[in-house]
Homo-oligomer: A and B are copies of this chain.
Amino acid sequence: MTRHLRLVLTAVAGSLLVGLSGAVVSHAQAPAAAATYTSDGKLTFPADYRTWVYLSSGMDMAYVEGGGGQMHAFDNVLVDPAAYRTFLQTGTWPDGTVLVLEVRSAEAHQSIDKAGRSQGGRIAVEAHVKDTARFRDAGGWGFFCFHGEQPGARIPATAACASCHQAHAAVDTTFVQFYPTLFPVAKAKGTLSSAYLAEEKAK
């Protein structure tokens, strides 16, 4: 259990930095809101997120030197379909966007696999939600961490994930530089953040 917890913590620390996002869809929009909340402000677990649009996966990524878990892990990122369609048109995320980060163990030698890694059990699920009114204190985005499929509490806006996303993410605090089908859209629409562009220029 200690080893597992350590993995969860390091995976969460590392993975919070991968782009996520989402928020309450306005009442004018037809589809059901991807983000819904309990009366005490927790985010309802998005039970159908595995049918959302897949953005990318990483393996053992770490945003700080020496980061990453002691076990191997994949990060999968999916976004609600309405937000995805808007991004293709505009190069950025609408209010109501929910990005889900799913962390899974990276298993070796499963079945007939002789090399590399395949995905195993789910270790953590987090969400990054855009709602400019609700998250006015944090640039319009909130991070949430789930335990199992219970409603997830918001991660404080002062946590490291928020400042890192603000400083390094390519589009509207989301790590679109790691989403190969969306990055060219942002480039074409001119929505890459000035912080990201300055960082890439300085390389």
Contact = CB atoms under 8 A, between A and B. Distances in A.
A177 interface: yes
Interface in A115-131: 115-122
Contact of A112 (B60, B120, B122, B168): B168
B62 A116 contact: yes
B64 A106 contact: no
A178 B119 contact: yes
A114 interface: yes
A26 to B, nearest CB: 23
Interface bin, chain A? 35 or more
Copy number in this complex?
Answer: 2
B59 A54 contact: no
Given A50-B181, A51-B84, A84-B51, A56 B115 contact: no
A61 interface: yes
B63 A76 contact: no
A6 B33 CA distance: 46
A46 interface: no
A180 B62 contact: no
B58 A118 contact: yes
Interface of A: 17, 50-51, 53-54, 56-65, 67-68, 74, 76, 78, 81, 84, 104, 106, 110-122, 168, 170, 175, 177-178, 180-181, 196, 199-200
